[in-house]
Structure 1
Amino acid sequence: MSATGILAAPTDLARGRAVAREAGIVAALTFLHAELGGTLLPAGPSGHAFVPETVARRCDAFGTERRLAEVRVGPDTMVALYVPGAGPGGDDRPAAWSIGLGWVRLGLAERFLAQAAEHLRGRRVQETVTLNLPPVRVLLADAAAGLAEAHALLASGPDATALHRVHRALDEAGRVSLHLFGATGFLADGPGSEIRAAELLGETYGPPARQGES
C-alpha cells in the first residue's frame, strides 16, 4: 500500500528536526515514519519514494513497488522506489509527511553546517584558522540566513508554495556545507553522502515549482 503523504496525525512534526540534528538522516526518517503510523510507504508527487531500507521493509507491500537504486549513507542504506499509481491526490495542502520532512531536512542542514564549521575550525591557511577567513564567514552567514527563512516558513504552517521555498533554501545550505568540507565531502564514507541524500529527499517529496518560482 502506498500514500502520497500519509494521513495527518496529532503529532509534533517539528520534533524530527532535533532527531535529524543529533542522529542523522536515517534515524530522523525512521522517527518520522513511526510517528505517522509506520505502515504506509510515502510516495512523492511523481510516485517515487526514498526511504531507509529498514523503513521500506516494514511497510505494507503488494508487489507493485519497483526498486530503482540504493544509496549508501554511512553504515546504512536508503532505497529509491517507484510506486505505480501513487501521486497527488488533488489536495493542494501538503500532507503530514511533507511537513515533517521539511523539519527533518532543516535539522539535517543545521547538522551539516555545524559539522562543516567544526571541520574548518581544525584547519589553517597561512596561520589563520580557516573558519575565521572572511569568505568563509560570508558563506556561513548566507547559509544561516537560509536556515532562518526555512524555519520561519515551516513554523507558519506552509502551503505548497512555501514548502517549495523551504526545500530550495535547504538545498542551497547543504551545497554550502559540501563546499566547505572540500575534498572530505566527496569521500565515500564522508559527510557528502548524507548531504546528497538529503537533497534527494527534496527532489523526491518537494512540491514542484509553479510558474514564476525558481
Structure 2
Amino acid sequence: MTTTRQNTDVTAALRALEDDRASVRLRAALAVGTTPDPGSVAKLVERCGVEPEFFVRDMLTWALTRHPTALTLPGLLRELRSERAQARAQALHTLSKIGDRRAWPAVTRELLRDADDEVARSAWRTAALLVPEGEESALAAVLATQFGRGGRETRLSLSRALVALGEAVGPALDAGETSPDPRVRTHALATRRLLRDPDAGFDFAIEEAKRVVALGGSGGEGQ
C-alpha cells in the first residue's frame, strides 16, 4: 500500500511540473527531489530544458542531484547535444552540481565556444570544475580564445573559470595580453590581476587594465 501511495504521489508531482503556475511547479520539483524515484529522472531532465523560471530550474537541478548519478548522467549528456540553448546550459549547470568527472569528455570545444552566452558560461564553469589534473593548460588555451566576449557577466564568468585553473593559465594570459584587439588585452590583463589578487574585484581589475592598455602597455611586468 505504501509503495502504491508513493507511486501515486510521484506521478502527481511529475504532472504538476507542467502546471501553469510557477509556485506549483516549484513545489512539485521539491517533492520529486525529496522522494527520489528512478522513474522521475527523464521528466526532470526534460523539464530543465523548457522550464521558463530560473528558481524552478534550480530546484529541478537539485532534484536531479538527489538521484544516483548512474541514472542522471546519460540523459544530461544527451541534452548537451540539444538544439535548445536552455537545455544545453541547464544540463551543464546540473553536471557542475553533480561534479562527476566522467562527464568531462562531453564538455567539448564546441560548448566552450557556444554562440549562446549562457551556454558558454555554463560550459566554462563546468569545465573548470571537472578538468582532469594535467589538462588545465590546454583548457585555459581554449578559454582564452573567448577573451573580450560579451558583456560584464560573460567576461566575469570567463575570468572566474580561468582563475579557478590557477597558475596553469599563465601562457594563455600571455597570449591574450599581446593580442592586437584591445578588448582581448584588457580582459586578459584583468584576469591576471584577479589571479594575483582574488579580492581586487572584477570592475576594479577591468578599469586598471583599461588604463594599462590606453597607455600602450601589455602587462609585461607580470610575465
Q: Provide TM-score, normalisation by structure 2.
A: 0.27
Flag the structure with higher helix content: 2
Highest relative contact order (Cα 8 Å, sep 6+), 1 or 2? Answer: 1
Q: Provide TM-score, normalisation by structure 1.
A: 0.27
